[in-house]
Chains A and B, each alone.
Chain A
Amino acid sequence: MTEFLVPFAYEFFRNGMLAALLVGGLCGLIGVFIVLRGMSYIGHGLSHAAFGGAVLGYVLNVNFYVGAGIAGFLAAMLINQLTKGKQIKSDAAIGIVTTAFFALGIAIISRVRSFTQSFEAALFGNILGVSSMDLIIIASVFVITILAVVFLYRPLLFSTFDPETAGVFGVRTELIQVAFSILLAMAIIASMNIVGVTMIAATLVAPASTARILTDSFSRMLFLSTLLGLVIGAVGMYSSYQFDAASGATIVLTGALAFCLALISAFIRDRRAFKAQIHYHGNVAHAHPHDHTDGHAHSHGPHDHSHDHNHDHEHGDHTHTHEGEASPKTV
């Protein structure tokens, strides 16, 4: 046990662990909306745009977060505008806008080779060099995101589920979209020095996708994804120390492992649920994947019957019960 705690004796590790927890939780929370809105590619793109802005900011002697923030915000707004007309789809808009910003950063780096090294952290992540300022920024963005998700829960849910109808019901969908884009840009910029531009998309998507497999409830998915993000961040960070590997990579690999485990558990759960539903009428196998609370009839080859919720009925020499519940899929 004491061996397990050894790395915590180092300040750099404690800071790194705290940063990994905060980034994991933040990405887990905001990742829910990314996954459900089908925007996985934008996380990848915006981090690249922010990188270009950070490099440009460096040349212009502007703070890293300011440069990255302006570029991320500009890219998000440009993508929103380009996709409004529906002629240009979002994947194309993201591809053009964010890669252009990234290319600008690469062009500057290749021209001024002297500072190439300092941007490796932004590209691949460097959790060991986390400063107090980095921690304050990540914590602030996490708190702002939690508050926004709590107070905008209803309009966020409605506009994520059904944006067109949400507008009819008075949800200001465009405003919500802008607010979400700002939150996302903030989360990406705050996280990119920790997990790296190249790894951030997976950090955003893995906890939410894992949570989606485990629950069918939106509110539970938000909670579970945030929790998974925290755990994945912590386990990934600890693995980074133990295996002496890049922290961004170990966090992403932990996320991928969690996703695989969730897939396996869902497969086993569905198999069990299906087997539980199978029963036999003579030699005819038969399953109930849906309920019959409306008492509708269905047929089994030569004989028809209708049945109600939670009842026993007989088939030849045996009796069995229909619970009438759909396959369980909640945590």
Chain B
Amino acid sequence: MSPNHIIELKDVSTGYKDNPVFTHLNLSLEQGLFAGIIGPTGSGKTTLLKTILGTLKPHGGEVLIMGKPVSSLSRGSVSYVPQLETVDWTFPVTVEQVIMMGLFTNRSYIPWPSREEKTKVAELAEKLGISAYLNQHIRNLSGGQQQRTFLARALISSPKLLVLDEPTSGVDIKTQHDVLHLLKHLNEDGISIIITTHDLNAVAAHLPWVICFNKHVIAAGKPQEVFTSKTLSETYGGDLDVIHHGSHVLIAHSHHHKH
């Protein structure tokens, strides 16, 4: 394994009970990357994330994060932001309590937060622009503030690798832009980031690296190189038009009607 690899999957097969999702998968991603995994619903994107995070044990093969099996990594070095749609917004927690959950990695069994922990949470909330909401219930936030809250929970343990499941779904286009911009800054600070998304245009506009995935890796590289009608139709099984405009790439649904 190269020391530059943050994630390395070697001949990995995994799935749920008798239902294999992917087999003999090989994937290497370099340290410091900011990559998006795209693919249709049911392509195994979430399964791939779970395998990387170690919450789904592979049936075969080896998963290495920073050269080590996930289970042997120090707590908090890999962090995760779930899909906002999966969050129980009626649960009685404030923004501060959510962020504080990320500090479980300190193995603290004292129920109330220490002064140090409170300061850490306040500083991070300030950095992410949510310090005014620390005592608010999570339901009272806008989509962007909610995303930042869960991002703060993931960042509080100072991870080396940040994994996000669909961070751009369920939010408006401006929030999408803000979230991806924020992730870009975090990436520039040295955190490797991997996200899944359905939003091809957002990937094309914001992400330096993309992986087209449908049970196996169809293509990986810069969006400008990877996003072609051929790779996208192979990934999604349908026609998509790719429009190159200067350095920008735009993806549009194809409307080819047979007459």
Contacts and interface: CB of A to CB of B under 8 A. Distances in A.
A164 to B, nearest CB: 7
Contacts of B79: 168-169
Q: Is the interface of A mostly helix, strand, loop or mixed?
A: helix
A44 interface: no
Nearest to A32: B92
Given A152-B109, A164-B82, A326 B91 contact: no
A329 B139 CA distance: 12
Contacts of B91: 36, 160-161, 218
A85 interface: yes
A58 interface: no
B42 interface: no
B17 interface: yes
Interface in A124-155: 150-155
Interface string B115-141: 000000000000001001100110010
A294 B142 CA distance: 9
B108 interface: yes
A36 to B, nearest CB: 6
Contacts of A318: none
Nearest to B94: A217
Interface in B87-102: 87-88, 91-94, 97-98, 100-102
Contact of B104 (A155, A293, A329): A155
29 contacts: A36-B91, A150-B111, A154-B104, A154-B109, A154-B111, A155-B104, A160-B91, A161-B93, A161-B98, A161-B101, A162-B101, A165-B80, A168-B80, A169-B76, A169-B157, A212-B92, A215-B92, A216-B92, A216-B94, A217-B93, A217-B97, A218-B93, A218-B97, A219-B97, A219-B111, A290-B142, A293-B133, A296-B142, A326-B136
Interface of B: 17, 53-55, 75-76, 78-80, 82, 86-88, 91-94, 97-98, 100-102, 104-105, 107-109, 111, 129, 132-133, 136-137, 140, 142, 144-145, 157
